[in-house]
Amino acid sequence: MANTILVGAQWGDEGKGKIIDVLTGKADIVVRTQGGNNAGHTVFIGKKRYVLHLIPSGILRPRKLCVIGNGVVVDPVSLVGEMEELNRLGVRVKNLFISESAHLVMPYHRELDEQRELLKGEDRIGTTKRGIGPAYGDKAARTGLRMIDLINPGRFEGLLRFKIKENNEILKAFGAKPLSFAKVHAAYRAAGDRLKPFVTNTVALLHEAARRGKDILFEGAQGTFLDIDHGTYPFVTSSNTTSGGACTGSGVAPNRMDEVVGVMKAYITRVGEGPLPTENQEIADLLHGMGREFGATTGRPRRCGWFDAVATRHAAIINGIDDLAVTNLDGLDSLETIKVCIAYRAGPTRLDYVPADIELLAKCEPVYAEFPGWRTSTSRCRKWSQLPLRARSYLRSLAELTGASLMIVSVGPAREQTIFL
């Protein structure tokens, strides 16, 4: 399979978890390189449903190595909880390696995330309240704590004492309750002891694996338009969700990467606030009515809309997408007509890229092309030739408009509901 980066080409929740699970069959190692437990990847195997937040979904297959890279922010208590939940479901968590340089998400990060959102009121970002922004903030400010600190009891105690003191001052200014050093210390040290056997120099591990010709799959979290640099700032997450983030977040160089796969839904969704030009209530009602499109991390109903080819074309350029995986095709099975946004119009100007200025983006009106629906269930299709003609022509158009080649079509959550081209 060679070294493959998988990214979300929209606003997250493109169905990456399932595609990664399918591709993992061919990989030796799966690496998470950015984000934290704000991510939620749902994978169905048989009748069992697994929701992963920090652990790469490769863990669901025996003998695959799973790596949490240096670019990830780790909430150690939540990670231990995720490991225990997997154990409960009968998955043995062993081949897991956590970067010693990964930064920690602390309770004051979660508290600050919450307080900042409250203060913003109507202008809030709609974060997952997992403390992601403040944790990356500390990392950039060079005041963060890392896994290597957590597993060194003496060092951790001193650093934590200072951080709790500092952050309690800030929390006081927000009128929030101060944190108890003793409580945080006890919980984090316990998690540290549990995680210590998994903590290592993952850069050395990945280089050695690459040298031995192992195939590495880089598992993106969130999506292109939630990228801290390329997304709809400030309505973004705090990491680089685009393909470059896979290099910096793992220590594997760009010229060692062989392929970029972009995952996108056959329509569009977004959780949280911020502009979404093709948002449409009718399609949201349809999908929610089918019991689909509720967030895997927060349970929030996702906002829904028509496929936005302006956005996916932009994503293809930024990420260098070679191949596409289109998911959730079956969500559109009942529609008579399906719209696709091919350009934006802002007053007299026609735009074929996503503007950086979100005030301009909020004013953009989609220009639509219409496609006739196929009005038959696709969920039992297993081959390209079994898909309705109209579905095939819709998919071909999505790939052409995006500017990449179609590799995978997904027609349901199960592993078998996957069509390779």
CA gap 293, 124 in Å, rounded: 21
The answer to whether the peptide bond before residue 134 is cis (omega within 30 degrees of 0) is no
Half-sphere exposure of 194 (CA within 13 A, CB side): 16
- State how far the Cα of 311 lies from the Cα of 306, in Å rounded to an integer: 11
CA–CA separation, 73 vs 65, rounded Å?
19
CB of 261 to Mg ion, least distance (A): 17
Residues 255-284, mask of contacts with ligand IMP (x by CB under 6 A): ----------------xx------------
Q: According to CB under 6 A, which one of 132, 147, 261, 283 is a site residue for ligand IMP?
A: 132
Shortest Å, Cβ 199 to ligand IMP: 24
Residue from 45, 80, 125, 210 binding ligand IMP (CB under 6 A)? 125
Estimate the crossing angle of helix 181-195 against helix 76-88, to 10 degrees.
50
Task: Look at phi and psi of residue 12 and say left if phi exceeds 0, alpha if psi is from -120 to 50, else beta.
Answer: left
Binding site for Mg ion (CB under 5 A): 13, 40, 296
Contacts of 71 (CB under 8 A, 6+ apart): 33, 34, 102, 239, 240, 245, 248, 249, 250
Quick one: what does residue 219 bind among Mg ion, ligand IMP, none, with the CB cut-off 5 to 8 Å set by partner type? Answer: none
3-state secondary structure 121-164: HHHCCCCCCCCHHHHHHHHHCCCCCEHHHHCCHHHHHHHHHHHH
Q: Per-residue x/- mask for ligand IMP, residues 345 to 384, rule CB under 6 A?
A: ----------------------------------------
Residues 2 to 61: which contact ligand IMP by CB under 6 A? Answer: 12-13, 38-40
- 249 makes contact with ligand IMP (CB under 6 A): no
For residue 392, which of 363, 421, 367, 412 has the smallest C-alpha distance?
A: 421
Q: How many CB atoms are located within 10 Å of the residue 351 CB?
A: 15
Residue whose C-alpha is closest to residue 36's, from 5, 74, 66: 74
* C-alpha closest to that of 8 among 412, 318, 361: 318
112 binds, options ligand IMP, Mg ion, none, Cβ within 5 to 8 A by partner type: none
Distance CA 118, CA 221 (A): 25
Binding partner selected for residue 80 from ligand IMP, Mg ion, none, CB under the kind-specific 5 to 8 Å limit = none
Exactly one of 115, 128, 278, 418 binds ligand IMP (CB under 6 A); that residue is: 128
Amino acid letter at 36? Answer: G
Nearer to Mg ion, 199 or 284 (CB): 284
Please say which residue, 45 or 296, places its beta carbon nearer to Mg ion.
296
Of 132 and 391, the one with the shorter C-beta distance to ligand IMP is 132
Q: Which of 13, 21, 75, 227 is catalytic?
A: 13
Annotated active-site residue 333? The verdict is no
- Contact present, 267 and 282 (Cβ < 8 Å): no
* Residue 180 beta carbon to ligand IMP: minimum distance, rounded to whole angstroms: 25
237 binds ligand IMP per the rule CB under 6 A = yes
In whole angstroms, how close is the CB of 293 to Mg ion at the nearest point?
A: 11
Q: How many residues bind ligand IMP (CB under 6 A)?
A: 20
Q: Which residue is nearest to ligand IMP (CB)?
A: 272
Judge whether 41 counts as a catalytic residue.
yes
Which one of 21, 41, 149, 323 is the catalytic residue? 41
Comparing CA positions, the residue from 327, 337, 282, 288 lying closest to residue 305 is 282
Among 24, 33, 115, 127, binds ligand IMP (CB under 6 A): 127
Per-residue x/- track, 214-233, ligand IMP (CB under 6 A): -------xx---x-------
Residue among 68 and 206 whose Cβ is closer to Mg ion: 68
Picked from Mg ion, ligand IMP, none, the partner binding residue 366 (CB below 5 to 8 A depending on kind) is none
Residue closer to ligand IMP, measured from CB, 124 or 256: 124
C-beta of residue 290 within 8 angstroms of C-beta of residue 302: no
Q: Does 328 bind ligand IMP (CB under 6 A)?
A: no
* Alpha carbon distance 417, 125 (integer Å): 35
Using the rule CB under 6 A, which residue among 133, 244, 331, 413 binds ligand IMP? Answer: 133
Minimum CB separation from ligand IMP for residue 182, in Å? 28
CB of 222 to Mg ion, least distance (A): 8
**If 0-12 CB within 10 Å is exposed, 13-18 middle and 19+ buried, where does residue 194 land?**
middle
What DSSP letter does each residue of 254-280 carry, written as one string? Answer: GGG--EEEEEEESSEEE-SSS--TTB-
Residues catalogued as catalytic? 13, 41
Which residues of this protein are in contact with ligand IMP, per CB under 6 A?
Answer: 12-13, 38-40, 125-128, 130, 132-133, 221-222, 226, 235, 237-238, 271-272
